[in-house]
Amino acid sequence: MKDAYYFSHDSNARNDPKILSLTLKYGVAGYGMFWILLENMRESENYKLEHKQYIYNSLAYQMHVTGEEVETFIKDCIDEFELFKSDGEFFWSESLLKRMDKFNDIREKRKKAAEARWNQENNDNNNEINTQDMQMHNTSNADEMQRDAKKRKENKIKLNNIKLNKIKENEKNPEEEFNAETFFEEKDEELREEDAVLTPEDLYAMDVITLFNKTCTDLPPFNLKNYKLIRQMILWRRHECPNMTDWNNFFKKVHESDFLNNRLPGKDFDKCKLGWLLENKNFLKVLEGNYKNRASPGTTEDLSFLDRYAPKKGGEKYAGDNSTG
292-311 pLDDT per residue, tens: 987 655 554 444 545 544 55
At residue 134 the predicted structure's pLDDT band, cuts being 50, 70 and 90, is low
Among the residues of 44-130, which ranges form H helices? 53-63, 67-79, 94-128
- Closest to 196 (Cα-Cα) out of 205, 187, 204: 187
Q: Per DSSP, what are the bridge partners of residue 92?
A: 85
What are the backbone dihedrals phi and psi of residue 49, each rounded to the nearest 5 degrees, phi first? -115, 145
Secondary structure element (H or E) that encloses residue 10, with its range: none
Reported residue count of the chain is 325
- pLDDT above 90 as % of the chain: 35
Using the predicted structure, report yes or no on whether residue 37 has a pLDDT greater than 90. Answer: yes
pLDDT higher than 80, residue 241: yes
**Bigger pLDDT: 168 vs 238:** 238
d(C-alpha 252, C-alpha 230), whole Å: 19
What phi and psi values does residue 92 have, to the nearest 5 degrees? -155, 175
Query: What residue spans of the chain are helical by DSSP H?
Result: 17-43, 53-63, 67-79, 94-128, 131-171, 180-193, 200-215, 227-236, 244-256, 274-278, 280-287, 305-309
Q: What is the torsional sign of CA 178, 182, 186, 187?
A: positive
| 3-state class (DSSP) for residue 217 | coil
pLDDT higher than 90, residue 158: no
Q: Which pLDDT value is given to residue 90?
A: 95
Q: Are 291 and 260 in contact (CB under 8 A)?
A: yes
Per-residue pLDDT at 126: 61
Decide: 183 and 224 in contact? Cβ < 8 Å.
Answer: yes
SS3 91: strand
Output the pTM of the full model. Answer: 0.36
Q: How far apart are CA 96 and CA 83, in angstroms?
A: 11
CA 97 from chain centre, in angstroms, equals 23
Q: Which of 111-115, 134-138, 178-182 has the highest mean pLDDT?
A: 111-115
Separation of alpha carbons 197 and 190, rounded Å: 9
Of the candidates 7, 18, 87, the one whose C-alpha atom is nearest the C-alpha of residue 44 is: 7
DSSP tag of 262 = T
Looking at per-residue confidence, does 6 or 97 come out higher? 97
